[in-house]
Amino acid sequence: MMNQKNDSIESLATASLMTVASELFSNHHIITLPKGAKYTFQTIIMTLLHAATSVNNSLESASNDLKLKSFLTKIPSADTIFNYINCNNVEYILSSFRAMNRDLFKSMNIKGKVHDIAIDFHNIPFYGDENTPLISGIKPKNGSAWGYSYCTLDIIGDVKLTLDVIAINGFNKNYFDLITFLFERLEKMQIKVGTVYLDKEFCNDDTISALTKLNINFVIAAKRNPKIMGILDNFKKENGPTSTVFRCNFNKKGTAFDLVATHDEEKGYILFATNKDVKSIEKFEKSIPEEYRKRWNIETGYRVKNNFKIRTCTKSPVARTLFFVIQCTLHNILNMLKSVLEITAYELKSLINEDIIKVIRYGLKSLYIIPFKLFLNYLNMYNKTRKRDLRNQLLRI
């Protein structure tokens, strides 16, 4: 067993994370190349990964940089790569992302366990023709009310993973159907849900009705409206500036929920909609805002994903979706590694990019190439051994 443990540690330490990542993309054909393609899938993926992990964070800059550094490998231009990408479609890329996740999650033992979930929209402003495919109305940002929008489903807490991505357009942003669809996905993944956390954009009757029907606990940042503020003003006159909980709905036929209104000296009332059991109003008022802070993990996740962002001006929805999926996949690989190793996004980027430079200069033989499935087995073995050793140490105390 000791030899197995040492072998797994050595393999994890020396494995090429570039080859691990590129094999994952290759196994599930993140894009399909057109017939007669001049360049290999490996070369296309290396250029994309270089754009995602180096300071040359656009496809044009990454391609030009690799051409200057390459001794043995012919590097495609950005235009060629875009042409290859555009032979695919958005749903194909998202389907490949889900298949990659199935492989990644095998090493993390997340099935059958209860996880808190965050659902959010990730919006990328767009400044061209609003009739461009996949463009929809978004919350105004950086001078634009139009953009590419993706709905993400994330585990938050000790484990941080992007479970699914859905491309949003003007025709499929039906909250009831969207929520129902996302939780069907979770059921297929065998993920058990503790509480789902959502921001104000989801504070509507369709979302609350869907979650209530599914019997899912929720905490949603609530919007102010005249009806709610009228109730709070009357409450404040009678009880002073203090917190409260009261029953609420959006209309007479709407699904009822509890509105938690916590009073802040500077901000006034901060509102949360929830269906969680109220056992003690005092504890409830304190616990709901505290619980909602967990949702900030998804904001941290966005910052981590932005480390792997490929900057582009392309109007291609397929390329935009592929670049976002690469961000999410590298984010998931990072968190898979964090389950057993101390590693930052910067370190992962550096390791992958160092390997890319070695490959284009000296060829694949210069790297320690470990098959992806074997890498996951080593990761699992190391994790189990580490947990067993820790449990034995605790027993000896």
Residue pLDDT, tens place only, 185-209: 999 888 999 999 999 989 999 999 9
C-alpha to C-alpha distance for 228 and 93, rounded to whole angstroms: 43
Q: Is pLDDT above 70 for 299?
A: yes
What H or E segment, with its residue span, contains residue 7?
helix 2-14
Kindly write down the DSSP assignment for every residue of 231-292, as one continuous string: HHHHHHHHH-S--EEEEE-SSTTSPPEEEEEEEETTTEEEEEEE-S--S-HHHHHHHHHHHH
pLDDT confidence bin for 318, thresholds 50/70/90: very high
Residue 380 pLDDT class (50, 70, 90 cuts):
low
Instruction: Give the model's pLDDT for residue 5.
Output: 43
| Model confidence pLDDT, tens digit, residues 1-55 | 434 444 444 444 445 677 778 778 888 889 999 999 999 888 899 899 999 999 8
- Give the sign of the dihedral formed by CA 11, CA 350, CA 371, CA 384: positive
Say if residue 393's pLDDT is above 60.
no
Q: What is the pLDDT of residue 31?
A: 93
**Strand, helix or coil at 130?**
coil
Which pLDDT does position 389 carry in this prediction? 56
DSSP string over 333-362: HHHHHHTTS---HHHHHHHHHHHHHHHHHH
- Average pLDDT value for residue range 279-285: 77
- Stronger pLDDT, 339 or 256, i.e. the higher one: 256
For residue range 340-368, list pLDDT tens digits in order.
Answer: 777 888 888 888 888 888 777 766 554 44
- When pLDDT is averaged across residues 308-312 and rounded to a whole number, the result is 93
Give the residue-averaged pLDDT of 131-154: 81
pTM comes to: 0.84
